[in-house]
Amino acid sequence: MGAIPAALLLMAFNAVMSALDTVFVRLVAGEVHPLEIAFFRNLFSLITLFLILPRGERTLDGNGLWPLHGLRAVIKLAAMLTYFVAITMLPIALVTAIAFSMPLFVVVGSMMFLGEGVGRHRLIALGAGLAGMLIILRPPGVEAGLGFALAVLSAILFAGVALLMKVSSGREAPLRIVWCNLLVTVPVALVVALPVWVWPSPQALTLMALQGIGGLFAQLSVARSMKLADASLVIPVDFLRLPIAAFLGLALFGEPLEIWVLVGGAVIFAGVVYSARTESRLSRLSS
């Protein structure tokens, strides 16, 4: 298989796993608190990474970045919690559509905190994100209540996680960053989950194991996909997770298909794709 088809398949795998992630949370949330779901998701990701990481890289050497890893772990845990709670309060397709705004918050953060230029393409992408949010809020029954606020907050927090990873990526390999992050996240998540702890059933534990393992491999698939092909080529494939999530929500939970949610998600994602393609073109011109 050629590099480009492989890259597209890897990104498609990420889209499927991202959609399934919301389903796993919805299926388990009736039995296990979102705090505990976050713990088990990270625990199984850590176990999986331990098995695939070369022995020489399973160390506690943080390369002087432990404060940054710790901050990133705490923010990521908060992002997961708000995302998981939003999933229990809103239709799966709606949460997925809102999650597409995360790269746009990364753009805002990179301009505010990393001193990166604005650029017309970034302003257009941000405008598309705002327009998409307004479209999503248009249907009757979709209100900017607590669930919507938590979904947006999770996108902002995940953007913060991405920015911190960008800061540390110049001094540490991506897998090592994930390893150090999980070493902090798992014990912190356990402590936070203890007040609401219940022993999960074998079925719930299996679903959370699939969630943790699948989430890790989805993350690795994105990284590998970006190495095989331009980001501007593979990023559009990620949009598959919205119709997949909408279909799963309808088939498994009887959630109605809201056309405006799909349209709003498409507008937000179009802004992301436009910005990514422009960034890629400008990068090639400057090299």
Per-residue pLDDT, averaged over 60-80, amounts to 83
Residue with the larger pLDDT of the pair 7 and 27:
27
pLDDT-based confidence at residue 176 (cuts at 50, 70, 90): confident
pLDDT-based confidence at residue 198 (cuts at 50, 70, 90): very high
Q: Please provide the average confidence, as pLDDT, over all residues in the chain.
A: 85
Q: Quote the pLDDT of residue 216.
A: 92
pLDDT-based confidence at residue 64 (cuts at 50, 70, 90): confident
Q: Quote the pLDDT of residue 144.
A: 67
Per-residue pLDDT, averaged over 28-50, amounts to 94
Q: Quote the pLDDT of residue 287.
A: 62
Residue with the larger pLDDT of the pair 8 and 61:
8
Q: Quote the pLDDT of residue 55.
A: 83
* Alpha-carbon span 256 to 71, nearest angstrom: 39
* Alpha-carbon span 93 to 255, nearest angstrom: 9
Q: Quote the pLDDT of residue 50.
A: 93
Six-digit token string for 47: 């176990």
Per-residue pLDDT, averaged over 257-271, amounts to 87
Taking alpha carbons only, the member of 105, 128, 172 closest to residue 270 is 128
Residue-wise pLDDT for 102-136, tens only, equals 888 887 887 777 766 667 777 888 888 888 888 88
